[in-house]
Amino acid sequence: MQFTELPLSDSIQKALADLQFTTCSPIQEKSLPWSLQGHDVMGKAQTGTGKTAAFLLALFETLQNEPPADERYAGEPRAIVLSPTRELALQIEKDAHELNKYLDFHIVSLVGGVDYDKQMQKLQRKLVDIVIATPGRLIDFCQKRYVHLDQAEVLVIDEADRMLDMGFIPQVKQIERYCPRKDCRQTLMFSATFSDDVLRLGERWMVEPTKVEIEPESIATDTVEQKLYMVGSDEKLSILKNIINADDVNSAMIFANRRDECRRLHDELRGAGLKVGLLSGDIPQNKRIRTLEAFKNGQLRFLVATDVAGRGIHIDGVSHVINYTLPEEPEDYVHRIGRTGRAGSTGTSISFACEDDAFRLPSIEALLGKPLECEHPPESLLP
């Protein structure tokens, strides 16, 4: 389906044309005909399948077609988008501004780790239409009565399964109670999985939702060559340095599970004279944004990250992903390796399995639906 076949306003069609978006992705093609009619929609799709545009297009059209209340006040958004991580919220905000190019909606992001006063100033500068937020920071603004959700016409909950994993559901429930009743708003919920818990939340928060499920063609992208090296834990650092010094490695994201491990890796690689950045939850948000920008524009060749960077961050041109430690959740393996092989390019993922984490392999292979071929690293990479 082409975007021109959908009942989208001229302003939105013009913005889509500028972005060279012509053909709907499967999640957009299946969800938009329903959401554009005002139905509640539960969408199941992996990260990177276009679901952000799917809910933003519906949200913009709803706000355009429904005139705002006669009397509006500061801090009363017409639409709320909830995201589990700061990075994903800021990515959604960036996408929203691109689609808003020929419209005049005031969009504000409220996320932790960013200057509170600056967010306050954006809220108070003019009437806010759309708030994109992480749950904790939004509740903070609501409790201080800087934001009021009782006029919200649209509520979007993105990555619902991730919200569950990260323990945010009590906060999301609180936010949902601040909003108008479910029959007085449109609710859109997207998730990579439809677990029983996610489905129960949908029943609680939505009115006869249309369920749209997009199964990935391949659970792990065919454009990524996956390698699995059996290594000793004492060899990993030397092998990692040899890998990223190879000629074919243009840029790489290196994943580890714990913040302290990421910091140690970052310091070791930086000490070896490599241009490397660090992205984890204990880094101040403004510094994380600068680090991401430096990695995107090539000032940094390598990025050491926890799984906070594994979802929702779109960086083209990453040649390699290296799993220094195997992830605790098999889904995170798929999200990690999906950072390479993007936008028509091919990429390589290299995972280390040692005595400490090889027990995680069976659940990863079960999710992939095929075994990962274990091999010893080539001699050229050995310490």
Whether the pLDDT of residue 309 is over 80: the answer is: no
Q: What tens digit of pLDDT does each residue of 326-337 get? A: 998 888 898 889
Contact (CB, 8 A) for 190 and 312: no
Q: Are the folds of 3-213 and 224-381 the same? A: yes
Beta strand 186-191 with 374-375 is: unpaired
Q: Report CA-CA distances (Å) from 12 to 9, 113, 235, 296.
A: 5, 32, 53, 27
Query: Mean pLDDT across the stretch 181-205?
Result: 92
Considering the domain 224-381, what is its CATH architecture?
Answer: 3-Layer(aba) Sandwich (3.40)
Q: Are 236 and 49 in contact (CB under 8 A)?
A: no
Write the pLDDT tens digit of every residue in 90-113.
Answer: 999 999 999 999 999 999 999 988
Cβ(118)–Cβ(124) under 8 Å?
Answer: no
Contact at 8 Å (CB) between 89 and 133? yes
Q: What does the DSSP 8-state code read for residue 375?
A: E
- CA nearest to 160, candidates 116, 192, 112: 192
pTM > 0.85: yes or no: no
Q: Is the pLDDT of residue 218 over 60?
A: no
Percent pLDDT > 90 in the chain is: 64
Q: Tell me yes or no: is domain 3-213 CATH 3.40.50.300.
A: yes
Domain boundaries, the chain: 3-213, 224-381
pLDDT confidence band for 240 (50 / 70 / 90): very high
Cβ burial, residue 138 (10 Å; 0-12/13-18/19+) = buried
Strand ranges inside 92-196, DSSP E: 107-110, 130-133, 154-157, 186-191
Residue type, 267: D
